[in-house]
Amino acid sequence: MNINLQLQSITNVEADVLVVNLFEGVTAPDGATGAVNEALGGQIAALIEAGDLTGKFKETRLLYTFGKLQAKRVLIVGLGEAEEFSANRARSAAAVAAKFAREHGAATLATIVHGAGHGGMEVEHAAQALAEGTLLGLYTVKNLKKHQAVSKLTDLIVVESDESKQAAIEKGLEIGRIYAEGTNYARDLINEPANILTPTRLAELATDVAVQTGMGISVLEEAEMRELGMNALLSIGQGSDEESKLIVMSYHGNPDSEEILGLVGKGVTFDTGGYSLKPMAGMENMKTDMGGAGAVIGAMQAIGRLKPKANIVAVIGAVENMVSGNAIKPGDVVVAMNGKSIEIVNTDAEGRVVLADALTYAIEKCGVTKVVNAATLTGAISIALGRKLAGMFSNDSEFASEVKDAFHRSGERVWEMPLVEDYKASFSSNVADMKNTGGRDGGSITAALILREFVDNTPWVHLDVAGVARDQDGHGDLNPKGATGFGVRTLVELALGQN
């Protein structure tokens, strides 16, 4: 989508749809909305007086201009109460307006920046939220349908009459575009059918991102992983005809620092559950079991474009968990890269086994000094937190606070969960150092405790995104049905915070 800033009067901009806003409780519109109201002979004020326009959050009203403005139509979007306004509300308002324009066949959408006046947001942040909300809201799932509806909406015109705000708006729009495009790229990866997005294809696409953004890339094949003793990761993929891969992306933006932030993603490109077979209903959605890997790659794309003064390494364990004569079986024991043995009692608890070696590799071979892993790890996390929040676990309170601050800035939602030491007994094994699951009760906590076995004393945060990586209904303002790209914006914020 083309995004352009025009420094001119709101009444002179040419567009199929022009968006202005209204806060709840405002009785006399001012600013850009007031200018439009005056040009239209007081139509907006009349709607307010009649009680047909209140400014409630996401309320919309469409007006035709009949030549009184250069724009063909005016869309008024409610922003809710000014005291409750936030970047998330700015994103939602932008998404609502963009979807409205698309549904009404508009090719050009003009809008003011929401929230930089009465909303109290800094101009740059408001412009960033505008770009993010527009591009996230307009995302559509790529598909292979023979006949596809094509959106006519190609241009977003941001209108501002105050020249002193130009630099801040342009910077915010560009940052917002990069955040949204990284998220949408992650969505594309996660939505891709598993017969197309194999571990090999995921490695190829990660390589494309690295080359395009000028970062380092290496892909370890099975023979190399075997030499390193990565038997845990390899065991999960051994039942598939598709070869497993370890993808390593590296961005070095601060050669004067020895600090390296690690981003580790679970990349199970399809998960049958192995011999602990998943139920038939909904198994097609297991193509999204690489939601953590998708988020990491999308974040690295954005990081490569934003160029923070920081060092970041991404490690992705890419495997396919299938059933065959070569597949791992319940009761088998594998020895991970760090020498710890794992009894596989449930082949559907595969993500933690893959991450065991990916985390070890990031710490031992890449030298990361702190690490975040993102994984669609447990169904239990959505039982605990629903489908609006990710679960977060950490062995380091200071690093946990840093990650939570990044979540606060991104607008994505997380809740910190406990690591209950008493639960370690549930995955004790009499034939190995541990079992790969502690059973149903406290499943997300025991999974996190198992991961902790592979980070030693390195500051670590585990994000269980199983409940939020996919939108079941697609009724949200920013998310269509399918992959959400959850975590991209937070990981980018975390990377920028390393400056």
Task: List the binding residues for Mn(2+).
Answer: 266, 271, 289, 348, 350
Q: How many helices (H) and strands (E) does the chain have?
A: 14, 19
**What is the SS3 assignment for 328?**
coil
- Distance between CA atoms of 206 and 212, rounded to whole angstroms? 10
305 catalytically annotated: no
Q: Which residue among 352, 370, 470, 489 is the active-site one?
A: 352
> Which residues line the annotated binding site?
266, 271, 289, 348, 350
Beta-carbon-side half-sphere exposure of residue 456 (alpha carbons within 13 Å): 15
Beta-carbon-side half-sphere exposure of residue 384 (alpha carbons within 13 Å): 22
56 catalytically annotated: no
Identity of the amino acid at 138: L
The strand pairing partners of 181, in sequence order, are none
Q: Is 359 exposed, middle or buried (0-12, 13-18, 19+ CB in 10 A)?
A: buried
Beta-carbon-side half-sphere exposure of residue 230 (alpha carbons within 13 Å): 31
Beta-carbon-side half-sphere exposure of residue 291 (alpha carbons within 13 Å): 25
Q: Count Cβ atoms below 10 Å from residue 105 Cβ, excluding itself.
A: 11
Tokens 């992306």 map to which residue?
249
Six-digit token pair at 498? 């390393």
Closest by Cα among 9, 22, 35 to 115: 22
Tokens 């509300």 map to which residue?
89
Would you give the DSSP letter of residue 242? S
- Distance between CA atoms of 222 and 245, rounded to whole angstroms? 7
φ/ψ (deg, to 5) at 150: -110, 130
Q: Are 24 and 76 in contact (CB under 8 A)?
A: no
Would you give the DSSP letter of residue 112? P
Q: Which residue among 61, 68, 99, 278 is the active-site one?
A: 278
Catalytic amino acids? 278, 352
